[in-house]
Each structure stands twice: as structure tokens, then as C-alpha cells.
Structure 1
């Protein structure tokens, strides 16, 4: 009888164990390919925030970048993602890369992640390439398929009438850096900064960022109003001076199904550890609510993020 009782207790304990494990919430968070800003941002967040969130399991999902993140959020394949504001806006139509797909009605704002520039990189010793116009007749890597980088680079080259005069290549950021170093492409395009692929080249071989004439920036902003002109500081890449270029705002977005209490905990941990996140990747230093600008894209903030911002007095009146 005693042995039977002990066995019954052991069985009961084992049966109860899975129920305890199931209380942990899994969160799939889309970033980008290795070498891209979003990849490292999500990687840093997963490791740093996990220290304070024992009941939440954040999994970094490698993707093509913003376009794929938005599409997979819409399909319900991701819980969170880093997404360009322009993609949030276009997914409501839907138009552009979202044409003929489902509308992004389930997208909810969490925070502004950062403002990202789009720029073209060549090796420092390349005297043939100085401005965007010089890309005509050249082989240019535009980023990995499904990425926001391809979207941005194509928009910019289209606005300036250059898109039909280049030989485009689609490849990961790391592969693009190697291809430029090996002479397989003349330049590659990058969205957001600092990007690991560019930093590595800047340190080892030296890079040149192609300049945008003022009239080119005006044309880009008028053609695609979700861009604005900003200045990439001379501290971003070794040997690269401050350069004016088109910027777009990038957001941390969640699926509406993610519970409000889970999002509130993650957001609270992110702001409490913002310095640590920024030490892992500088872009995290830019994180802020930016509620009005996100909601102007056609979607509301996530209730969990809203609850946190209201508690902290960060919700706009």
C-alpha cells in the first residue's frame, strides 16, 4: 500500500509538471538576416529582456527584414516584429509589396524602434562612384529578398530614374559586404545604421557612402512622402563624413493576439533596460513611444503598450 501510494504521488507530480511549463508564454520576434540592424536588435533584446522575464520566452526569428516581418505578422506567423512605418501604412490599403494580400488590421504599435537611413556603399578607393547617379551601368546588391532594404533601395532608385540602368543583385547583407570586397558588385545598398556588414568593411578596407545631391533628396521625399531627410553622423562609420540621406521611421510592432499583460511586461523591461539594449546595439537608444505618428499610419497602439505608457505618464494628451 505504501509503495502504491508513493507511486501514485510520483505519477501525479509528473502529470502536473507540464501544466506548470505551459504557463510560460512563447513570443516569436522577427528581425532580419545576419548583418542587418534588425537581426542584432532582436538578438540583443531576446537575451537582455529574458533575464527579467522568466515567464516569457522570446525567440529571435531570422527573416528577410521589414517586408517579411509585416507579411508574417499579418499571416499570424510572428508575434512581434521590427517593421518600417511605410509598411504598416501600405499594408492597410493594401498596396506595394502587400497588394492582393490581406490587410494589416491586426498590427499594433509597441514603440518607435529607430529612424533608419538608406544609403549606397562602395569601397573607399572607387573613384568612379561618388553620387547615386554614378550607379548607372553598375552592379548593385539591393539586399536580401523580402527585406525592407530592397523596398527602400528600389524606391529611391525609382524616384531618381536609376533603377532601370543598374544590374541588381539580391543577397544577404553579409554576402553583399563580401561581394563588394571581392569585386563581384560595384556597390551595395543598406537601410539603417550602424550595420555590421558596413562597419566591418569600414574597419578593414575603408568605405565610401555615395552622396545625395539636395535636389535628389527633394525628389525622393516628394515621390514617397514616408521618407524625410536626415543626417548620418560622422561617428557611425570609420572614415565616413556626416552625410545627408533619406530616412524612414521604423517601429516595434506586435500582433493584436499577444496578451496585453505580456506586452506590458516586455515593454516595461525594455525601457528599464534601455541602456543595456543600446550597449548591445546603438539603435535601441532611439526607442520612444511616438504614439501619434504611429497611429497616423492607420493602426492603434497595442493595449499592453498603452497601459505602460499611461502608467509612466508617457501617453499623449
Structure 2
């Protein structure tokens, strides 16, 4: 009898454990590849948010970056992703990299993640002092499928320079090493601080090329989803405050993610924002930014809306 009862109890416990496992919500969250800002943002968020949300299992998915994140969200291969606002906008009308994709009407906003600049990095002794000096040079534009390639190509197109360079596609980490080894002349980077640039600047003098006022005006007139800004002095060792184009980046969810899951995650993220920012500085910029996201043509996720209404942060 004792063995039978033991077996029944064990079976019952196994059933409970099985039910708990089934109740756990899996969330696949796309960032970028190592060396990119999105990679580290999602990494620290997955680790920290997971500590207090036992019923949610967050998996960091390594991707090419924003473009791939948006496309995979549209295909249903991701549950969340860090995505440029410009990509949310273009996905609604199936423009640019989304011309052959389904309409992005399943994209839902969670929060503004950060505002990211796009800039070109070279070595201090390269002889490259301004953007025009990139003509004829080998320039890494980022990994295939990344928002960095999208941004860098847009900027060079606006300035009439895209056909003047020798473009290469490589990961951020590989680009930093290739520049340090003299295999390329410069590389383009979106967002800051980026690990690839930080690591290179620790051992070499780096130059971040400044944009002129005229160049910034041309870029923002050609592509209105960019705006002028300045990367603060000290972002990288030895680099002064530098004017450059910025774009807004969002934490985006697929519409299928349950409202209570999104509400729990966004609540935990704001509660732990200081901790997240210690993991990567970009998290310090997180805010609702509801109206600006909605102006892109996509709604906020109901779970995020519930949280912001609860906190009195929903615009009326």
C-alpha cells in the first residue's frame, strides 16, 4: 500500500510539474549579432526580466538586426524584437526591404528602446577625416539583414556616395577586428555605445567622422525618419561630441503574445530599468513614446497599453 501511495504521489507531482511547464510562455526575442547594441540589450533584458517572471521563458535570438527582426516578426518566427521605427513604418506599406513581405499589421509597440545614431568609424591615422574621404575606400556596412546596412545605405544614398565606396558585409565584431588589422578602411555602425567600437578604441585611436550641417539637412530631407542629434563626448575614448543622424528604435511584439505576458514584462522592465541600464546604457532611454509609435501606422500592444494606463502614462 505504501509503495502504491508513493507511486500515486509521485505521479501527481509529475503531473503538477508537467502542467507548470506547459503553462510557461515561451518568448523568442530578436536582437542582433555579437558586437551590436541590440544583442546586448536583449541579452541583459532576458537575464534580468527572467529572474522575476518564472512563468515566462525568454530566449535571446541572434539575428542580423532590425531588418531581420521585423521580417521574422512578420513571418511569426519571433515573438519580440528590437526594431527601427522606420522599419515599422515601411512594413505597413511593404516598402524597401519589406516590398516582398506580408504587410506588417501584426507589429505592436511595447516601448521606445532608444534613439540610435548612424556613423562611420576609422582609425586616427587612416588619413580619412571627412565623409567625402570614404570615396574609393573599403567600408563595412554591417551584417546582412541588419538595420545598420539599411541606415548606412540610406545615408550614403542621400549623400550620393553609395556607388563611390567598396562595400563589404560583415558582423560588427568582425568589422572592428578587420579595421584594426588594416583589412578595411572604415566601418559603419548604428547605435551607441557599440561594443565593436568600444573595444577597438581601447587599443587604437579611432575617428568618428562628423557630418556637416548641409549633409545632415540632406539626409533628413531625403529620409524624414531621421533627425539630427549629437553623440556625446566620451561615448568612445578620445572621441568628441559629434553631430550625426539619429533614428528611433522600439521594443516591438507580435500581436499574438498574450496581453498579460507583455504587461508583466514591460512592468518588470521599468521596475528594473536601472539594472538594465547597467547592463547596457541604451536601456536608460526606455520610455512609452506612444504617440510617436502610433504615428508609424501600428498600434501599441494591449498589454503595454494596460500598463501605461495603470501608470497614468497613456496619452489621452
Q: Which residue number corresponds to residue 290 of structure 1?
A: 289
Taking the aligned partners of 2:2 and 2:50, their CA distance within structure 1 comes to 43
Q: Structure 1 unaligned runs (5+)?
A: none
Specify the alignment match of 1:54 in structure 2. 54
The reply to whether residue 247 of structure 1 matches residue 246 of structure 2 is yes
Q: Which residue of 1 aligns with 2:28?
A: 28
Map 1:1-317 onto structure 2 (within 5 A).
1-127=1-127, 129-317=128-316
Deviations 1:64-114 (A, max 9, x none): 000000000001111110000000000001010000210100000000000
Q: Cα deviations across residues 216-244 of structure 1 (Å, max 9, x unaligned)? A: 11110011010000000002111001010
- SS of the residue 1:189 aligns to: strand
Superposition RMSD in Å? 1.0
1:132 is displaced (CA, Å) by: 1.2
Aligned counterparts of 1:2 and 1:309: Cα–Cα separation in 2: 54
Q: How many Å apart are 1:306 and its aligned residue?
A: 0.4
Structure 1 stretch 242-251 or stretch 11-20: which is displaced more? 11-20
Shift of 1:53: 1.0
State the Cα distance separating 1:3 from its structure 2 match: 3.4
Question: C-alpha distance in 1, partners of 2:213/2:17?
Answer: 64
- Deviation per CA, 1:240-282: give whole Å up to 9, x if none: 0101000000000000000001100000000001000111110
1:5 positional shift:
4.2
Cα distance in 2 for partners of 1:265, 1:12 equals 29
The count of aligned residue pairs is 316
Structure 1 segments of 4+ aligned residues over 2 angstroms from their partners = 1-17
5+ residue gaps, structure 2, are none
The secondary structure found in structure 1 opposite 2:141 is strand
Displacement after TM superposition at 1:16 (Å): 3.7
- The structural deviation recorded for 1:133 is 1.2
How far apart are 1:10 and its partner, in Å? 2.8
TM-score w.r.t. the length of structure 2 is 0.98
